[in-house]
């Protein structure tokens, strides 16, 4: 059993200029080996912070991340850090910004091999790089080119090849296809699914786009203002969204809106996370909000079919 779990990953504090922001609060989840958990929500909800905590770029101010039962941040701070980093890799949103424009693609993909001492010499490294490029649908000869000679989708394939270089088990993917055209997105998502099947990879897949998430994830967590407001198996979440925010996100997707009902754009804006609303953080935008919602913060409760929801209306049977 793979235990990339973050039980009680509370109060991860993200340093912002001049202010401290509680970016993530009480987010808790587990991901089973070989499965995909998607985290969704509008920008600023704390998804990327969770990603950065999982790969060790930020340390949580409270709570812990367990990887195979071991406290990941204790390992990241120890002499075993490199061994853990080999097993946990990250794919970033922007394949333009995350690839060094002055490096040949072969050197970019081969760098983790060098860093982790995974190829004894240049010839071995070259051979591994060729295999990695081919495994993501590029040609071995592409290693001699520079990033600017590739399209956005090809660059994201290069990022994936680089992430696979250390033969990781867990990949944290932060909006991996958001910068790409829709048709290219589908190709990259299919590649990621194939690689998962072939290599038994485990994914945390972060996206603001529920339509994308539907095709790649086994389970979905919906975040709002740094908190998890609903988590459920993907099929259940799309068939029967429970949290009013999840419903608002789903209603905004044309192909997923209930038949006969027009698509409803997402209403309102995310509040300033430095001044979160009282009670339920979603109450200023929620059609079901009442006095209790404005006063009391709802906690996650188990609902049907393995899901959890934080909403007074759902708990009271009026949602
Ligand atoms: Fe809406 Fe109240 Fe549920 Fe929050 S707790 S989502 S305000 S009904
Ligand atoms: Mg982000």
Asked whether the CA dihedral 269, 272, 278, 282 is positive or negative, the reply is: positive
Q: What does the pLDDT read at residue 13?
A: 54
Cα 222 to middle of ligand 2, angstroms = 14
Tens of pLDDT, residue by residue over 152-169, are 999 999 999 999 999 999
Q: What does the pLDDT read at residue 256?
A: 58
Min mean pLDDT across 147-151, 171-175, 222-226, 250-254 is at 250-254
Q: What does the pLDDT read at residue 5?
A: 47
Cα 46 to middle of ligand 1, angstroms = 19
Cα 295 to middle of ligand 1, angstroms = 11
> Does residue 284 have a pLDDT over 80?
yes
Report the share of the chain in percent with pLDDT over 70: 90
Min mean pLDDT across 11-20, 192-201, 232-241 is at 11-20
Q: What does the pLDDT read at residue 8?
A: 44
For ligand 1, atom 4, name the residue with the nearest CA: 280
Cα 282 to middle of ligand 1, angstroms = 6
What is the reported pTM?
0.90
Ligand nearest to the CA of 291: 1
Q: What does the pLDDT read at residue 57?
A: 86
Q: What does the pLDDT read at residue 255?
A: 65
Cβ 313 under 6 angstroms from ligand 1 = yes
Q: How far is CA 180 from CA 3, 7, 70, 88, 183, in A?
A: 31, 33, 36, 24, 8
Cα 310 to middle of ligand 1, angstroms = 8
Closest to 91 in 3D by CA, of 165, 41, 149, 199: 165
Annotate 2-21 with b (16+ C-beta within 10 A) or e (fewer): bbbbbeebbbbbbeeeeeeb
For the chain, the average pLDDT equals 87
Q: What does the pLDDT read at residue 206?
A: 94
Cβ 289 under 6 angstroms from ligand 1 = yes
For ligand 1, atom 3, name the residue with the nearest CA: 311
- Residue boundaries of the structural domains of the chain: 241-319
The DSSP call for residue 78 is S
Tens of pLDDT, residue by residue over 136-147, are 999 999 999 999
The DSSP line for 269-301 is -PPPTTSPPSSSTTGGG-TT--HHHHHS----E
Q: Which residue do the tokens 């009902």 mark? A: 261
Atom of ligand 1 nearest to the CA of 288: 8
Atom of ligand 1 nearest to the CA of 229: 6
Question: Which pLDDT band, with edges at 50, 70 and 90, does 46 fall under?
Answer: confident
Tens of pLDDT, residue by residue over 225-276, are 888 999 999 999 999 999 999 999 998 886 655 555 566 777 788 887 777 8
Cα 120 to middle of ligand 2, angstroms = 37
Neighbours of 97 (CB within 10 A): 10
Q: What's the rounded Cα separation, in Å, for the pair 141 and 305?
A: 49
Instruction: Specify which residues 223 forms β-bridges with.
Output: 228
Task: Return left, alpha or beta for 181; rule: phi > 0 is left, psi -120 to 50 is alpha, else beta.
Answer: beta
Q: What's the rounded Cα separation, in Å, for the pair 86 and 23?
A: 27
Beta carbons of 40 and 238 less than 8 angstroms apart = no
Atom of ligand 1 nearest to the CA of 290: 2
Q: What does the pLDDT read at residue 271?
A: 81
Question: Which pLDDT band, with edges at 50, 70 and 90, does 1 fall under?
Answer: very low
Report the share of the chain in percent with pLDDT over 90: 61
Q: What is the mean pLDDT of residues 111-134?
A: 95
Ligand nearest to the CA of 206: 2
Q: What does the pLDDT read at residue 58?
A: 83
Cβ 247 under 6 angstroms from ligand 1 = no
């Amino acid at each position: 059993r793979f235990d990339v779990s973050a039980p009680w990953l509370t109060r991860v504090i993200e340093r912002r200029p001049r202010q401290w922001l509680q970016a993530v609060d009480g987010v808790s989840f587990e991901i089973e080996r070989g499965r995909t958990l998607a985290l969704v929500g509008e920008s600023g909800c704390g998804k990327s912070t969770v990603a950065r905590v999982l790969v060790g770029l930020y340390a949580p101010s409270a709570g812990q991340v367990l990887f195979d039962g071991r406290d990941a941040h204790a390992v990241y701070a120890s002499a075993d850090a490199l061994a853990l980093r080999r097993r946990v890799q990250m794919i970033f949103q922007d394949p333009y910004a995350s690839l060094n424009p002055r490096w040949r693609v072969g050197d970019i993909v081969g760098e983790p091999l060098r860093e982790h001492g995974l190829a004894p010499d240049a010839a071995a490294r070259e051979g591994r790089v060729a295999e990695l490029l081919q495994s993501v649908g590029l040609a071995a000869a592409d290693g001699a080119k520079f990033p600017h000679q590739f399209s956005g989708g090809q660059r994201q394939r290069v990022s994936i090849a680089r992430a696979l270089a250390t033969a990781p088990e867990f990949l944290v993917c932060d909006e991996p296809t958001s910068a790409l055209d829709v048709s290219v997105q589908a190709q990259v998502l299919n590649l990621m699914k194939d690689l998962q099947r072939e290599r038994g990879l485990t994914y945390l897949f972060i996206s603001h786009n529920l339509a994308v998430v539907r095709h790649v994830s086994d389970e979905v967590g919906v975040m709002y203002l740094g908190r998890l407001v609903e988590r459920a198996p993907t099929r259940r979440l799309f068939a029967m969204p429970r949290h009013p925010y999840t419903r608002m996100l789903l209603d905004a997707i044309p192909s997923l809106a209930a038949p006969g009902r027009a698509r409803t754009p997402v209403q309102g804006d995310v509040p300033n996370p430095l001044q979160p609303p009282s009670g339920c953080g979603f109450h200023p935008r929620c059609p079901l909000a009442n006095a209790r919602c404005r006063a009391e913060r709802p906690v996650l409760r188990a609902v049907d079919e393995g899901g959890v929801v934080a909403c007074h209306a759902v708990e009271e049977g009026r949602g």
